[in-house]
Amino acid sequence: MLLVLEIILTIEAWRRGWKGWALLPLGGFFLLAFIVGFIMGAAGASEDSVFGMGLVFDLACIGVLIGMIAKPRVKTQGLESRQTGQASEVTASELHQN
């Protein structure tokens, strides 16, 4: 059930301007959970503790995706200066000051 929620949140983050970056939390947390689960299993941890750790990683992934949705990505490259007509890089803080 949490996987369905993560996929929906990933799609929404993609639509909010994050594009390929929206796939990073899902892939990164799954890889990290697999590695930690493998190590815990090899160390003889119980199934309940491995499941609990997986739940923590799922909730962290959902939190990161919600953060990405809450703060849409602002494209900052390729903006043209009105005075010179030349393209320049502008930081997000400079965009909010103007």
Q: Domain span at residue 33?
A: 2-97
* Ranges of the chain whose pLDDT falls below 50: 81
Q: How many CB atoms lie within 10 A of CB 96?
A: 8
Q: What is the DSSP string of 18-80?
A: IGGGGHHHHHHHHHHHHHHHHHHHHTT--HHHHHHHHHHHHHHHHHHHHHHHHSPPPP-SSEE
State the pLDDT at residue 28: 95
Counted domains in the chain = 1
Instruction: State in Å, rounded, how far the first CA of the chain is from the last one.
Output: 43
Strand partners, 88: 79
Residues 36-63 have pLDDT tens digits of 999 999 999 999 999 999 999 999 999 9
State the pLDDT at residue 75: 75
State the pLDDT at residue 73: 87
Residue with tokens 């007509």: 85
